[in-house]
Structure 1
Amino acid sequence: MKVRDDVAEFFDRFATASDGAGFHPTLLTLDPVSVTPVTREQVVASLPKRKEFFAGLGISGMTLDSLDESPVDEQHTLVRSTWRLERTESSTVPEGTIFASTYLLRRVEGEWQIVVYLNHQDLRALMSA
């Protein structure tokens, strides 16, 4: 993983957090079929539905697999990540499936926050696979 220590620490916390603390109060989410401005509260409210969606596919969680950082300026950095799916025995998702996401982070009062979240997979397509 090629990232600065503070960025790696941010993702260590982000990987296990469910309170939305890593998100900026307003952010942009993207995937192959949509672009949506959302609030941190909307992200937090969507987490139980996302967890339920993944459970229906036999995914019990995700583990951070890799990070690669490209600093943009003193206040922003672009981070590419991959996440390894943790599958149950009855999962309909192929073994070894990896999710790729890209994040634009902004330093706010000394702390990194996600201002753009790009999910490279169309989750609806995964459901029909």
Structure 2
Amino acid sequence: MSGVEVIAAALAAGALAGVTGAASAAVEDAYRDLRALLRRRLGGSAEVLEPEETSAEVWEARLEPVLTGVDEELTAAADRLLSLTSGNLNVANNYGVAAVTMTGNVTINNSIPPK
């Protein structure tokens, strides 16, 4: 992945975690830090960071024309956010969408509970 792709994926993951309510304080901080760093780097082009977006493709299309040069600080911030959000799983079922973090062995029972 290119630097812009990594940043776009991180921004999408951070926004999605916030939208689904699955964001921990660490995720919120990492997302805010990445956006602040990008805002400083983009200067007059920082308006591409608004509005928030949950699609990495949209972020990539917004950032590619204006983000020249992705350095270690940007990629480290994006990697940190991605590592914090990588355990989140969105599960859609008959009752809506649940965003959860799972560790250990997981068994998914696809039966419908009695009414």
Shorter-normalised TM-score: what interval?
Answer: 0.3 to 0.5
The alignment's TM-score, normalised by the length of structure 2, stands at 0.33
Q: TM-score, normalised by structure 1?
A: 0.30
> Which protein is richer in helix relative to its size?
2
Higher strand share: 1
User: Per chain length, whose mean CA-contact separation is higher, i.e. which structure has more relative contact order (CA < 8 Å, sep 6+)?
Assistant: 2
